[in-house]
Amino acid sequence: MKINTVKRRLSEGLPAIGICTGLGSVIVAEAYSNLGFDFVLQDHQHGLWDDYSGWLGFQAISRGPAMPIARVNSNDFAAIGRLLDRGALGVVVPMVESAKAAHSAAQAMRYPPRGSRSFGPALTQYHGADYATWIDDEVLLMVQIESAQAVERAEEILAVEGVDGCWVGPADLARTMGIDLKTVEGVQAHDQALGRVLEACRKTGKFPGIFGAPWPPRGGGWSRAFCLSPWTIRP
């Protein structure tokens, strides 16, 4: 059995700090895994990873102590399943704006009866021959709250069974709110929206998460969040 140490840390009220890689480089992925981060996130939404390089990347990350996490390109059943079938131990799903969308993501993450993921773990054998017996407990689903609409619905999104937590996308959130973060008023409105998401996490008992740069987590619950390092803009 493999323990998802990111999920364990978050469950214990500790922060989980990761770094993102988007260039599709297996060498970079393995190097990052040995730099002391809790997880390495392969960005399949904005990065250059494909099915094959992603599979190799997850294996490379797993040779170090960090957990292999991926951001899927969209909230798509098959796309989520392909990342899991290649060994991702956590998936970040972008642009989740309703409980219905969150439910769709949750169903794709786990095998029946807890979900509807299709069974085909042949490519995950590097996690151990017993993979199928523990993955539903150890896998981590973080849905992205990154629009004004999603903030309004944050509590109902996070209340969906199978959703472990959220990951706020501050840049997209600011754009959908129509605010200027160079102004005091814009920063205040943005902070209020972040506070609403954090409160929704508290009410539902789900893990908070946020992109770390250039918006460092602001005390309180964010100090115990699923966060990306400010280095994440690098390859």
Residues known to be catalytic: 46
Q: Which two tokens stand for residue 83?
A: 């990342």
The backbone torsions φ and ψ at residue 16, rounded to the nearest 5 degrees and listed phi first, read: -120, 115
- Can you tell me the distance from the alpha carbon of 201 to that of 44, in angstroms, rounded to the nearest whole number? 26
- Can you tell me the distance from the alpha carbon of 209 to that of 106, in angstroms, rounded to the nearest whole number? 17
Q: How many CA atoms lie within 13 A of 31 on its CB side?
A: 7
- Can you tell me the distance from the alpha carbon of 216 to that of 42, in angstroms, rounded to the nearest whole number? 21
